Structure 1
Amino acid sequence: MSDTTGQGSLLDELPGDLMMWVLIISELLVFGAGLAAFLAVRLTDPVGFAEAQDHLHRTGAALNTVVLVTSGFLAAKAFQWRGLGARLKARLALVVAALLGVVFLIIKGAEYADKAAKGIDFETHPFFLFYYMLTGFHAAHVVAGVAILYLIAWKDSLRNIEVGAAFWHMVDLVWVLLFPVIYLLA
């Protein structure tokens, strides 16, 4: 059935690509379920979770929050600059955004290495099982996002940047949710 009012559907107004939005929503649901399970199990042992949480690097995680939010800002600016015809500026913003993703992974890797050196693994306490699952799954998305950012810096059509930036913003959003729940929730 066709639309005779001349107005498009909400899907027509969705930025980027429908399949990317299906992926983003499904990933947000997975992370949401993981966070809900974390919070539910935390209710069974709040003292143990708080003690385990004290082994985390809150300063590094806060720095990683700034790194990812800055990277997301640059991805958004790349879309804006490419739309204005500033192709080189857009490409540079995408490369720097991807490099910031690598910085995130280095900081996260240092935290993982510290945990390993202290003998803390996913069997140490249920907190660390969730910590490694949620932050590890997020880190895998950062790796994918970095690859996407480099690809769209190379194939920098406005549509590619819009779709790639949407994925990268999902990665940012997930971290903005993980950070307070895992690192700060008392």
Structure 2
Amino acid sequence: MTLIADTSEETAIEEANDDLLVWILAWSELAAFGALLVAFVVVSWLHPEEVAAGRARMTLVVPAFNTAILLLSGWAAAVAATPVPLLKRRIALCAASAGGLLFVALKLYEYSLEGASLLSDDAFSTLYILMTGFHLVHVLFGSLVLALLARFPSPQNVHLMTTLWHVIDIVWLVMFPIVYLI
């Protein structure tokens, strides 16, 4: 009887530690991207003409489509995090991963459309590449981890990664209007 109680207590402690790790990672991501977004807003206030010229060089179609892709990918990740049969969890993780990889491919296509204007040495271009490139790396890495989880979908790892995937989605949902629309 004592063995069962000790095991349950250890499991509860491990789950609490897993949740702590999730929140530490999530808040560190939000802090890093928050700093970049604040820098972008400050540059927008200090150099409105430069930012307007930078936005005029960009297309809205690809990033708008990418927003929809990330939302669908986030939905698939949410399905994977629920108590579903193993096959459905694996399919949902693969779908979330595929959405992330499609996002990466379209973002690279968007960069190719913008071409030489990305190489400008103005503050807008520098921050744009820094923010969207940093986000792109997170999406790529997250997509690869989601694909790996489809093969080895332990509940704790699925919980951790799908939570972080949602943080990456939230970052884009804030970044998209600030960079492209406002």
TM-score, length basis structure 2:
0.87
Instruction: Look up the equivalent residue of 2:169 and give its one-letter code.
Output: D
Q: CA RMSD for the aligned pairs?
A: 1.9
- Structure 2 residue runs of 5 or longer lacking an equivalent are 1-12
Moved over 6 A (4+): 11-15
Establish whether residue 108 from structure 1 lines up as the match of residue 110 from structure 2: no
| TM-aligned CA deviation for residue 57 of structure 1 | 1.8
1:35-114 alignment, distance < 5 Å:
35-80=37-82, 83-84=83-84, 86-114=85-113
Inter-partner Cα distance in structure 1 for 2:17 and 2:140: 23
- Structure 1 residue runs of 5 or longer lacking an equivalent are 1-10
Structure number with the higher helix fraction is 2
Partner of 1:6: none
Partner of 1:164: 161
Number of paired residues? 170
Query: Once the two structures are aligned, what percentage of the paired residues are identical?
Result: 35
Partner of 1:5: none
Establish whether residue 149 from structure 1 lines up as the match of residue 142 from structure 2: no
Instruction: Specify the SS of the correspondent of 2:89.
Output: helix
Task: Identify if the C-alpha distance between structure 1 residues 145 and 100 changes in structure 2 by more than 3 Å, giving closer, same or farther.
Answer: same
Instruction: Look up the equivalent residue of 2:104 and give its one-letter code.
Output: L
**Contact kept in structure 1, 2:111 and 2:118, CA below 8 Å:** no
TM-score, length basis structure 1:
0.85
Task: Identify if the C-alpha distance between structure 1 residues 127 and 166 changes in structure 2 by more than 3 Å, giving closer, same or farther.
Answer: same
**Contact kept in structure 1, 2:44 and 2:51, CA below 8 Å:** yes
Q: Which of the residues 120, 125, 128 maps onto 2:117?
A: 120
